[in-house]
Structure 1
Amino acid sequence: MSFERSIGPSAEPAPTPGLVGTDVAGAGGVSAAMRLQILSTEHWSLLASRSLAWNESFSRAGMFLSTLSGAIVALALVAQASDFGEGFRLFGLVILPVVLLVGIGTVLRMGISNNHDALCVVGMNRIRAGYLELAPDLDRFFVMGTTDDERGVNLTMAMQARTSMLVHMLASTPLLVTVLNAILFGAIVALLVLQLGAGTTPALLLGTVGFVATLGAFMWYAGRDIARAMAEYHPKFPAPEPAEPADDA
């Protein structure tokens, strides 16, 4: 899931017990009204859990950006005082790794929140499938996915099929934080090379290598995590296969 929105999904009020009347008991002796109440309660619980995950992700991203902004301001002040000399390099080698550590923790936490968000979406899609089992004629009123396969999950997460996955990735906050982390690592490498006495050109080259390597490592880790999750997941309510056209006699 990408984090483009400014606020997380709001939680709906919890269903009040006893508002739904009794109905004919279905399988297992549980009435349709009781089934609806159970599904509604679980739906509300998933919405609340998803909202908390979104809020935490926004808080972590904001904390990282605030830390990065403060570090840049501090580096600017030290650069003016030391004329970009050894004091500036030493200060950068002290403060930038701290910011990078915060950034790495932010990306990892966002990945966990993404997995949690996808799990909540799967659960809510399954609940909608349960709603349709109770009232199949309400299918035309649902705008979110009612299947728990990849297509249904993407529909609920507003990931349109006609939009490239690359576009969704470029617009996501985790990728933004990842790029900033790679820039930080490249800057640390460049400052370290300068501090060891090398020239500007080697520092720029090695800093660029550090940036590319860090970005590639983060992308590889994220891709492996997504591939593993998709390989281990098996939908319970997939969309029916499209019927093949009948051959003309």
Structure 2
Amino acid sequence: MTDESDARNGDLLAVLNTEYFVLQGASGASISEASSRASLYLLTLSSSLVSLGFVLGLSADVFGPFAAAALSTVFLLGCFTVVRLTETSIENLRALRGMARIRAYYADLSPLARPYFVSAGSVAADAQAMLGRRSNRWWWVGTMATMIGAVNAVVGGSGIALLTTAAGASLSLSVATGLGAAVVLVTLAVQFQRRRFATEFAGS
């Protein structure tokens, strides 16, 4: 009976080791995808700004439609990027929580093992600690989705300011309208993240 129990424990440890590395790979893949998507957006934005600089000296009949097409395309890409970056963050956190559960099991195998598996008190807290987050209240400040959301909000606000100027509004009104739109857009990006995380990890 003891041999059978030892064999089962050994099989369990082997399975947990495999699962840990699978989760570690999933975490790394989500981070890699997030970096690639953020880089793609910033590269597209940079290229669009360079192209706008080339046509800046042309007539308004040429610059206006070109700027509208370029900024709207970048803005839409930014919205899609924020959504996907939020999903990759959730995938990463889900994988980290799975890793934290396995680490908690390892820590309970023996009292001698506990000093080597430092815990923040819960699986959720351990996953947050793996990300280097100190505050659960302001976690969204350092996310990649917030970074891209802020940049995209500036793009959207700039587009609205240009549109307002083209409609005949004064410069001060156009700037104020653009700034207000940017604030609204970055707030929407943050709120989208908060709601997605609240829905995904409700009660934990």
Structure 1 length-normalised TM: 0.74
* Counterpart check, 1:193 vs 2:156: no
Runs (4+) of structure 1 moved beyond 6 Å? none
CA contact (8 A) 1:125 1:146 kept: no
Aligned to 1:209: 180
Aligned residues of 1:128 and 1:146 also touching (Cα < 8 A): no
Q: Which amino acid aligns with 1:178?
A: G
Percent of aligned pairs sharing the same letter:
25
Q: Which amino acid aligns with 2:77?
A: V
Question: Is 1:72 matched up with 2:49?
Answer: yes
- Secondary structure of the structure 2 residue equivalent to 1:129: helix
Which position in structure 2 is the counterpart of 1:156? 130
Tell me the residue number matched to 1:10. Answer: none
- TM-superposed CA distance for 1:143, in Å, is 4.4
After superposition, residues 113-192 of structure 1 pair within 5 angstroms as 113-143=88-118, 147-148=122-123, 150-160=124-134, 165-166=137-138, 169-192=140-163
Partner of 1:94: 69
Distance 2:173 2:101 in 1: 56
Amino acid at match of 2:127: V
**Corresponding residue number in structure 1 for 2:79:** 104
One-letter code aligned to 2:134: Q
Deviation at 1:229, TM superposition (A): 2.8
Q: Which 10-residue stretch deviates more, 64-73 or 223-232?
A: 223-232
> Radius of gyration: which is bigger?
1
Paired amino acid for 1:157: L
Cα deviations by residue, 1:145-189 (Å, 9 ceiling, x for unpaired)? 6841x322222222236xx853x5443322111111111111111
| DSSP 3-state at the match of 2:58 | helix
Partners of 1:145 and 1:205 in 2: CA distance = 45
Once the two structures are TM-superposed, the CA of residue 131 in structure 1 deviates from its matched residue by 1.6
Aligned partner of 1:39 in structure 2 is 16
1:81 corresponding residue in structure 2: 58
Partners of 1:86 and 1:195 within 8 A in 2? no
One-letter amino acid matched to 1:218: A
Aligned partner letter, 1:160: R
Q: Decide which moves more: 223-232 or 96-105.
A: 223-232
Matched, 1:49 2:26: yes
Q: Is the 8 A contact 1:126 1:146 kept in 2?
A: no
8 Å CA contact retained: 1:129, 1:146: no
Taking structure 1 as reference, are residues 169 and 217 closer, same or farther at Cα in structure 2, changes over 3 Å only?
A: closer
> Which sections of structure 1, spanning at least 5 residues, go unmatched?
1-22, 234-249
Q: Counterpart of 2:113 in 1: which secondary structure?
A: helix
The number of equivalent residue pairs is 203
Unaligned runs of 5+ in 2: none
Structure (1 or 2) with the greater helix fraction: 2
